[in-house]
Amino acid sequence: MINWLKYKFIYFGLSLALLLTGGYSLITSGLRLGLDFTGGSLLEFKVNAPINELIPVIETETDVASLQVSSDGSYILRSSSLDSAKNMVLQEKLKNQFGQVEEIRFATIGPILGQELIKKTLSGLVLAVVFILLYLAYRFRDKTFGICAVLAMLHDSLIILGAFSLLGVYLGVEIDALFVTAVLTILSFSVHDTIVLYDRIRENRRLRPQDSFAVLANRSISETMTRSINNSLTIIFMLLSLFILGGETTHWFVFALLIGTISGTYSSPFTAVPLLVLFKGKA
């Protein structure tokens, strides 16, 4: 049997390096918030041009959050960085390219995700964390299990946030409403994955009461490794095919889930359990 836990400081080191890189970027640059969070502008206009020729021209002047056709034959453009100066330049450009442009309205629009929603979601998550701590303490007769599961979950969410902070800095990737749901999905996946491993530790503890906790933990990691890899592979197959073949709009949503799945799978045997062994070793 492989002695997984012998290398626990390597795992911690790897996690720490990733967390510090992401954390540094988060603190210095934060996340690039998209239209869903910040609001922006809405421009409705009429021009005689097909939508697929219009988009590249608009994109030379401003970002295109969405462009829709209305039943009146006008276009509705939403953009996070379009201001009135840019609006003038854009309309001039469209006029040169496609002929007459008629502005129907230009409005400053608010965010879809308000502060309120974010605040309330965070309070919901705090409540969820409290529940996870209590439930795992009850089911495993030990409060450290819950603490380590929550730490691993925190690890996974910080990895995603850090990755998107870096993507924002280097590739200009903005986060949107979808990103919020991706993070929530990964939070529940992470805990789910950790509990499966914990369950094996609980069972082995019953079967081999003479073994030390570190030995039990190591055996449990070995026994659940195939399941863990196979399970993540099925999810990764799905995500990879969506990432490579899927539409443009869900690209970064799928990428967030991909990072989260890998991190969530990794963090169960290589963050949650080594931490548990560390806590138990001291006790």
Q: Closest Cα to residue 23, out of 121, 160, 180?
A: 160
Compute the least distance from the CB of residue 29 to another protein, in Å.
25
Residue 172 has a CB neighbour count (10 Å cut-off) of: 9
CA distance 180 to 113: 10
Find the binding residues for another protein in span 76-105 (CB under 8 A): 76, 105
Tokens of 45: 């206009």
Contacting residue, 85, 100, 247, 282, with another protein by CB under 8 A? 247
Three-state secondary-structure class, residue 75: strand
Which region, judged by CB under 8 A, interacts with another protein, from 8-16, 26-34, 86-94, 195-203? Answer: 195-203
Compute the least distance from the CB of residue 144 to another protein, in Å.
16
17 contacts another protein (rule: CB under 8 A):
no
Contacting residue, 137, 180, 215, 262, with another protein by CB under 8 A? 180
Contacting residue, 143, 192, 205, 280, with another protein by CB under 8 A? 192
Burial of 10 per CB tally in 10 Å (0-12, 13-18, 19+)? exposed
Find the binding residues for another protein in span 223-242 (CB under 8 A): 223-224, 226-227, 230-231, 233-235, 237-242
24 contacts another protein (rule: CB under 8 A):
no
117 contacts another protein (rule: CB under 8 A):
yes
Tokens of 118: 């974010």
DSSP state at residue 197: H
Between 25 and 271, name the residue whose CB sits nearer to another protein.
271
Between 2 and 104, name the residue whose CB sits nearer to another protein.
104
Compute the least distance from the CB of residue 93 to another protein, in Å.
23
Between 12 and 243, name the residue whose CB sits nearer to another protein.
243
CA distance 141 to 120: 31
Contacting residue, 143, 185, 215, 278, with another protein by CB under 8 A? 185
CA distance 273 to 282: 14
Three-state secondary-structure class, residue 80: coil
Three-state secondary-structure class, residue 99: coil
Using CB under 8 A, count the residues that bind another protein.
Answer: 80
H or E element in which residue 78 lies:
strand 75-79
Q: Closest Cα to residue 37, out of 117, 126, 124?
A: 117
170 contacts another protein (rule: CB under 8 A):
no
DSSP state at residue 48: S
Contacting residue, 38, 121, 144, 222, with another protein by CB under 8 A? 121
Contacting residue, 31, 77, 152, 195, with another protein by CB under 8 A? 195
Tokens of 15: 């996690």
Find the binding residues for another protein in span 131-150 (CB under 8 A): 131-132, 135-136, 139
